[in-house]
Amino acid sequence: MKVLTANRLTDGEAVWYSAKGWVRAFEQSEVAANADAESRLATIGAMAYANNEVVDVNLIDVALKDGKLHALRLRERIRADGPTIDYAPNTAA
């Protein structure tokens, strides 16, 4: 299983391709379960890159774990879940 990820060109945010287009929520990713679906997502990513919508376009491996989508590589889990440290501890919100 794979999903399509990239960084939005306007602000660098990690985004995921979904049925609604590019979204920031990993859980909403469109999942490719076979080679044809992977090829379709790869084409969508290439077109978005060519149209200067996104950069660093990648199909990444995912799995279902306890009923939730889970990125297999640590890099992608960090992109999906956010930073692994608190950047501003002890500061007021």
* Residues 31/69, Cβ–Cβ less than 8 Å: yes
pLDDT at 90: 65
Between 89 and 41, residue with greater pLDDT: 41
Distance CA 32, CA 93 (A): 39
pLDDT at 79: 86
Residue 93 has pLDDT above 70, yes or no: no
pLDDT digits (tens, 9 = 90+) for 27-83: 999 999 999 999 999 999 999 999 999 999 999 999 999 999 999 998 898 888 877
* Residues 58/4, Cβ–Cβ less than 8 Å: yes
pLDDT at 6: 97
* Residues 3/30, Cβ–Cβ less than 8 Å: yes
Distance CA 65, CA 49 (A): 30
pLDDT at 44: 98
